[in-house]
Amino acid sequence: MLKKYKHISFDLDGTLVFTHKEYRHKIVPKVVKKLGGLIKDSYSIDRFWFEKNRDEIIKNDFNLDPKVFWLTFRNFDKPLKRVLFTEAFNDVEKSFKKLKKLGKTISIISAAPNIILEHEIKKLNGAPYDYSFSIESNKYKEKPDPESFNFVLNQLNSIPQETVYIGNSEEDAHYAKNSGVDFIHIKRNEHKFDLKEHSICIIKSLEELF
């Protein structure tokens, strides 16, 4: 499956690590309540956590100004708190080692701030990789804008035709498409997506790559 690719790039949250459901269902209502908003239903919390267009969800489902929401959310979503609820999927370490044996370049591109990215990568038990990148901390536009992916490609001397991005969300699929790279959808079953039209394949475990 990976023969044509020299560079294997990964999303982080929901792809390599997962944050227990109880965390988002605890912290998001706290933020909304503090700002005087109203959560449409519990499914809205999952949509906010996993789907793209989060600002629209904040406006329509929480009845709040996104700019105000994000400032408050960052004050509640502390890295040292989140990391206590975060674990690596059990197929990551072994799969990364296999990829390195195959001579692949591995990158991790995340929308999370760098401090969260660093704490979450520590959860991977030393799984080997070549480069990690925080879109937010490097002040690039959020996914699916391709500018950040183009930067990573340049840093690693990689070309889109030899790169594949592996992620768990609709946002990741469009990010890959806009960047001109292939996309593999990994279904971790945390949230429902139908991404067949943007994926070269759908897998349920990284072990299926080999």
3-state secondary structure of 141: coil
The reply to whether the predicted model has a pTM over 0.85 is yes
Q: Which CATH class is domain 7-16+89-209?
A: alpha beta
Nearest to 164 by CA among 172, 113, 154, 124: 172
3-state secondary structure of 198: helix
pLDDT the model gives residue 20: 94
Strand ranges in 56-151 using DSSP code E only, listed in sequence order? 86-88, 105-110, 131-134
Q: How many residues does the chain have?
A: 210
d(CA 54, CA 46): 11
pLDDT (tens digit per residue) in 103-123: 999 999 999 889 999 999 999
pLDDT the model gives residue 120: 94
Residue 37 DSSP label: -
Burial degree of 99 (CB within 10 A; 0-12, 13-18, 19+) = buried
pLDDT the model gives residue 52: 75
Burial degree of 116 (CB within 10 A; 0-12, 13-18, 19+) = buried
Q: Where are the domains of the chain?
A: 7-16+89-209, 21-84
C-beta of residue 108 within 8 angstroms of C-beta of residue 121: yes
pLDDT (tens digit per residue) in 46-76: 989 888 788 999 999 999 999 999 999 989 9
pLDDT the model gives residue 161: 97
Nearest to 39 by CA among 24, 53, 51, 50: 24
Residues of the chain with pLDDT under 50: none
Greatest CA separation for the chain: 53
Structure tokens at 184: 């593999």
d(CA 147, CA 11): 16
